[in-house]
Amino acid sequence: MEKKEYAQLNEVFYQETLANGLQVTLLPKADYHKTYGLFTTNYGSIDNEFIPLGQTEFVHVPDGIAHFLEHKLFEKEEGDVFQTFGKQGASANAFTSFTHTSYLFSSTEQVYKNLETLINFVQEPYFTKETVEKEKGIIGQEIQMYQDDPNWRLFFGIINNLYPEHPLHIDIAGTEASIAEITAEDLYLCYTTFYHPSNMHLLVVGNLEPEAMMTFIRENQAKKAFAPAQKIERRFPKETSIVKESQIKMSVNRAKAVIGIKGLTEVPSDSAEAVRYKFALQLLLELLFGNTSQNYLQLYDEGIIDDSFGYELNMERNFYFGDISSDTSQPEQFAQAIIQMLTSYETSAELTEEKVALLKKKRIGSFLHSLNSLEYMANQFSQNQAGEITLFDHLPILESLQLADIQQAAQKFIKEEAISKFYMYPNDEK
């Protein structure tokens, strides 16, 4: 078991890769009553074409199967795992993203029992034709709920423009047609491939004794047999171009607009440089569009945006993009103004050494405050590890960022051919 200390943050964590390939991370936090466990597989909604474990040819599985699998793992022959956690004084949950699926619990008591429940239920699949068919109706209702959500449709509308061929543009839950095709055999095929310990990460953070807990986990895994590990080969369609503009109508009171920017250049292969690039782009967006920027104040004063205005950068395995959106009575003017602010970044008054220094102080303060949250630490550690870089390595990278790094990142990211517009109008407009 390797121990790694971060004196600047007064943090320490322990890590070990077990014989079956499972990576385990323990974060002791002696002053906390709660313990938080997170079991994550490097498998998400975009992973629908791959070579199954033990096979040699690519297969294509129905869209939404990663999310479907997440639902089904909680159902066992003897009952619902949520009830088991409840009886043991724990709360449990799970979520599927584009690239990961995570299962979690939090509790202040019976930590080892709850940890055992977490590990065992994820590693003991139970699917039957009857239970799979029953779940299709439940997930079908969930899909319809999201299809009726204007902000969800806006988000996937711009993704569809940016990635018209990539499975990224498909709802994480799939479609009603795609989930209708899912069989128990499909679930076992995906489970066997992507839920192999070598593709998973177990993290426990809270008031724990590292050696005792690592021993407990080692013993749990030693009792189980797994197929030999195999590097997972995924395949994605090649993107040819983006859709520059599209629109839909929905039952909304005001129009909505979103500008998307697709990352066309490769993310640096060095893990520290990849994190630096991501942070530089995040700071760039905040400098240009943060609520203290002149750009934001101008758009707000002109009535082009309101309090719904927001922006974000999504950077994960195999893709990255930014989006800037708002409810607006002037969607075309919004798009024109945002694109102008983006493409004129080189002469923008928002990008100065002084503003970068102030923003870095704000971001560093927010980062340090976030380390008080076990949930934040667990999620960041499990899903944002880049090679040898972990959450605790982020601070020195953030501290070292300069205006030149942000300008260089902007030069790689902001390109006319990478920008797309998506509008949502009320049903009685356009």
First to last CA, the chain: 62
- For 54-62, which contacts have Cβ atoms below 8 Å and span 24 or more sequence positions? 54/192, 54/227, 54/230, 58/233, 58/235, 59/189, 61/182, 61/186, 61/189, 61/190, 62/174, 62/178, 62/179, 62/181, 62/182, 62/186
Fold of 245-426: Cytochrome Bc1 Complex; Chain A, domain 1 (3.30.830)
Contact 46, 166 (CB under 8 A): yes
269 near 388, Cβ under 8 Å?
no
165 an active-site residue? Answer: no
pLDDT digits over 122-136, tens only?
Answer: 999 999 999 899 889
Tokens coding 414: 């902001």
Select from 3.30.70.20, 3.10.20.30, 3.30.830.10, 3.90.1300.10 the CATH code of 2-222: 3.30.830.10
Burial class (CB in 10 A: 0-12, 13-18, 19+), 12: middle
Provide DSSP, 329-380.
Answer: S-HHHHHHHHHHHHHTGGG-TT--HHHHHHHHHHHHHHHHHHTT-HHHHHHH
Nearest to 37 by CA among 96, 85, 80: 85
Cβ-based neighbours of 189, under 8 Å, separated by 6 or more: 52, 59, 61
Under a CB-based contact definition with an 8 Å cutoff, are residues 289 and 312 in contact?
Answer: no
Any idea where the domains of the chain sit in the sequence?
2-222, 245-426
- Contacts of residue 421, defined as CB under 8 A and 6 or more positions apart, other chains included, come to 161, 244, 245, 246, 257, 258, 259, 260, 335, 339
Fold: same for 2-222 and 245-426: yes
pLDDT the model gives residue 172: 96
Please tell me the predicted confidence (pLDDT) of residue 191.
Answer: 97
pLDDT per residue, tens digit, the chain (430 aa), is 999 999 999 999 999 999 999 999 999 998 899 999 999 999 999 999 999 998 999 999 999 999 999 999 999 888 899 999 999 999 999 999 999 999 999 999 999 999 999 999 999 999 999 989 988 999 999 999 999 999 999 999 999 999 999 999 999 999 999 999 999 999 999 999 999 999 999 999 999 999 999 999 999 999 999 999 999 999 999 877 899 999 999 999 999 999 999 999 999 989 999 999 999 999 999 999 999 999 999 999 999 999 999 999 999 988 999 999 999 999 999 999 999 999 999 999 999 999 999 999 999 999 999 999 998 988 888 776 556 788 999 999 999 999 999 999 999 999 999 999 999 999 976 5
Which of these is catalytic: 5, 49, 57, 70?
70
Whole-angstrom distance, CA of residue 181 vs CA of residue 176: 9
